[in-house]
Amino acid sequence: MTLLAAVRTELKKQANPAQGAKMQAYMKSALPYWGVPATPARAVFREVFGGYAPASLAAWKRDVLALFNGATHREERYAAIALCGHRGAKAFQTFEALPLYEELIVKGAWWDIVDEVAGSRLPVLLEGHRLEMSRAMRVWSKGDDMWKRRSSIICQLKLNASMDLALLYDCIEPSLDSKEFFLRKAIGWALRQYAKKDPAEVKRYVKKNEARLSGLSRREALKNV
């Protein structure tokens, strides 16, 4: 049985069609949901992936994409994201994994997928390959794909004290004047996170860029200052 078939079988056992309809409506998803909440879904993924040990980077990528591209329900895409962070794939969390994460972000193209990949997987690559990843994120920040732009802005959220301020500002800059909600929200979110480390610097930055920052970005940035 493939990983996809195993995940689908276990999710189907816990399916709640009424809940699934509500989840699909809330997420505005083209894919339906089985209606399995996050906690039991994660338990399913842990059970199915328990002894997972891919033989190579290529095998791991194939397994992740088979889950993601073969999904008939959105929870199966969540399973693909969970497989990205599985302990069996720890050795593959190198710069060579970035094309896989880029594909998931571009194909996922919605905040639930994008924010999990950008918020949980990209920071691991940043910590291990700072120079290459910083260069890549600066390129993403200037590109046409809005979700890659958002990813470049929020990819340091979990790095806390090791956040690179120059990288953050460089990734924000191309989107400062954007009218896109998801970019405005990302800017405020990232600045709010950095304010935990240096609130005075965030206040200075917001004041300096007050004319360009949206009201949403300003409010989010200064929420806890």
Q: pLDDT at position 187, please? A: 98
The reply to whether 187 and 76 lie within a common domain is no
Contact yes or no for 133/98 (Cβ under 8 A): yes
Compute the distance between CA of residue 7 and CA of residue 49 in angstroms, rounded to an integer.
9
Residue 159 has pLDDT above 90, yes or no: yes
Residue 145, token pair as written in the block: 């794909």
Number of domains, the chain = 2
Residue 206 has pLDDT above 90, yes or no: yes
Report the percent of the chain where pLDDT is more than 90: 97
The average pLDDT across 173-177 equals: 97
Residue 1 has pLDDT above 90, yes or no: no
pLDDT digits (tens, 9 = 90+) for 63-95: 999 999 999 999 999 999 999 999 999 999 999
Neighbours of 138 (CB within 10 A): 16
Q: pLDDT at position 160, please? A: 84
Q: pLDDT at position 225, please? A: 87
**CA neighbor of 13 nearest in space, from 63, 71, 75:** 75
Of 41, 70, 92, which one is at a domain's C-terminal end? 92
Compute the distance between CA of residue 135 and CA of residue 86 in angstroms, rounded to an integer.
26
pLDDT digits (tens, 9 = 90+) for 11-41: 999 999 999 999 999 999 999 999 999 999 9
Boundaries of domain holding 46: 1-92
Residue 140 has pLDDT above 90, yes or no: yes
The reply to whether 209 and 99 lie within a common domain is yes
Compute the distance between CA of residue 55 and CA of residue 164 in angstroms, rounded to an integer.
34
Compute the distance between CA of residue 199 and CA of residue 177 in angstroms, rounded to an integer.
23
Helix (H) or strand (E) holding 66: helix 57-70
The reply to whether 5 and 88 lie within a common domain is yes
Q: pLDDT at position 161, please? A: 83
For the chain, the farthest-separated pair of C-alpha atoms sits apart, in whole angstroms, at 58
CATH number at residue 217: 1.25.10.90
